[in-house]
Amino acid sequence: MSREIIDRDFYRWSVYGLFVTCNTFGFFIAMTIGILLPSIAAEFSLSPTSQGIFGSSPYWAYILLTLVITWWVTRYSPKVIVAVTMLLSSLCLAFQGWAPTFFFLLIGRLLFGITMIAREAAGPLIIRQWLTQREVNLAGGVENLVFGFIVSSGILVTPELLDIFGGDWRPVMKILALVFLLLIGLWLVLVKDREITAEVQKNGNTSYVEKNNQGLSRSILKKALSYKEVWIASFGFCGAFMAFTSFNSFLPTMFLESYGISLSKSSFVAASYVFPGGISGIIAGYYIRGKEMRTPVLVIAGAVIAITFLGMTYTENYLFLLILGSINGLAWGFFPILYMVPYHLDDIRPREIAVAVALVWTIASLGLSIGPYLTGYIQEVTDDLRLSLRIVALAPITVLIAGLMLKLTENSKNGDIKFPDKKCEAIL
């Protein structure tokens, strides 16, 4: 392999890796709020339901605005999208650090969620600019690995920052705003845009003809939403994310109140079910290049995640909690297999992929949003946080169901069975 090819491969994966890093820092802020939540709740005297609303607030924006924002921002280059949204994210974090009341804090978190939506829209365009079709699942694995490393590291570092500032969450927000500014600088200096090329290779790796300034038409939107596989993937993520955000938001509180486990020790349990998913995800993404083996992976992962989340509510043995967390994390290796479903659809173009992925995030965000709110509400009604977490722990069974439905859809296309052909254009 020539030096030129090595350098080219290193650069294109570096571009994608830096994008994933920028994007993941948004999810790091959204998903590690459970560490800061006890301090925030104490300052503003928040009820469990209010805590749940605050924890899920970025994802309400996903539900309402993802399709519209994706439709709009993908007319611009990925470099511009990422730079602008990172700047706005930094301003939102600084605003939250200043917020004098809970109302302003909630507004800042909602606006932060909108910046996450817009930045996410750049992902499919970057993948089609720099990666081949055979590298799609691996790209999902890389995203899973970076997510696992950054979010788990953040879970471990955030309690230490909180201790440094004497339990004051506001300086932590402001430091994170500075991190976003640093990432903007790296992005602007290191990344260049590349036109999606007109090249169809004989080995099956296909890139697509599309100008970056080409607008999305209504027909593209309709086509992107007409694939039943996209709706199935969305359904699978919905339950998994419902449990994930619920446990991220309330597990530290449950450990502290029920088991006397400190926030620092709780952070190790949370990290134990975040980081391993990155490792198993990149392995799954590397070895599963297309649709093969995705059903067994999804069926096993859905069952394991539900069982291990449930197990965390039945034991206060710290070592056992770490073991359960690690097993749970390994099962999250399913992520690139399900997330990359839109990339493997027949006759789908890059901007249609962006809209399809936006639909996945819209419906998945129902789980992200409903999870913490439902957990807080059940706790308020029953006065039992463990019971509420046990109920939500069963939600990842949707991953198992999605795996079976994708297999059924695949068989129907091969002519093995009859499957209802229901298009989704009606929603438009």
Percent of the chain with pLDDT over 90: 36
Residue 361 and residue 69 in contact, taking contact as beta carbons nearer than 8 Å: no
pLDDT at 183: 95
pLDDT-derived band of residue 256, with 50, 70 and 90 as boundaries? confident
Residue 365 and residue 56 in contact, taking contact as beta carbons nearer than 8 Å: no
216: how many CB neighbours lie within 10 A of its CB? 17
Q: CA torsion, points 140, 144, 146, 151, in degrees to nearest 10? A: 150
Nearest to 77 by CA among 181, 218, 188: 188
Give me the helices (H) in 165-207, please.
169-190
pLDDT at 230: 92
Tell me the pTM: 0.71
pLDDT digits (tens, 9 = 90+) for 87-104: 999 999 999 999 999 999
Half-sphere exposure of 191 (CA within 13 A, CB side): 26
Task: Return the higher-pLDDT residue of 199 and 335.
Answer: 335
Task: Return the higher-pLDDT residue of 350 and 319.
Answer: 319
Task: Return the higher-pLDDT residue of 66 and 91.
Answer: 91
SS3 at position 142? helix
Q: Which residue type occupies 356?
A: A
Phi and psi for 167 in degrees, rounded to 5?
Answer: 85, 5
Lowest mean pLDDT among 1-5, 23-27, 270-274: 1-5
pLDDT at 412: 65
Task: Return the higher-pLDDT residue of 370 and 89.
Answer: 89
pLDDT at 208: 39
Q: Which domains does the chain have, with CATH numbers?
A: 3-193+219-415 (1.20.1250.20)
pLDDT at 98: 95
Question: What does the pLDDT average to over 38-54?
Answer: 87
**With 90 as the cut, is the pLDDT of residue 420 above it?**
no
Place of tokens 């955000």: 245
Question: What does the pLDDT average to over 248-257?
Answer: 84
Percent of the chain with pLDDT over 70: 87
Q: Note the Cα 106 to chain centre separation in Å.
A: 20
pLDDT at 222: 75
The gap between the terminal CA atoms of the chain, to the nearest Å, is: 49
**With 90 as the cut, is the pLDDT of residue 333 above it?**
no
**With 70 as the cut, is the pLDDT of residue 119 above it?**
yes
**With 70 as the cut, is the pLDDT of residue 156 above it?**
yes
Q: CA torsion, points 55, 57, 62, 63, in degrees to nearest 10? A: 110
pLDDT digits (tens, 9 = 90+) for 194-242: 765 444 333 333 433 344 434 445 566 777 778 899 999 999 999 999 9
pLDDT at 89: 95
**With 60 as the cut, is the pLDDT of residue 127 above it?**
yes
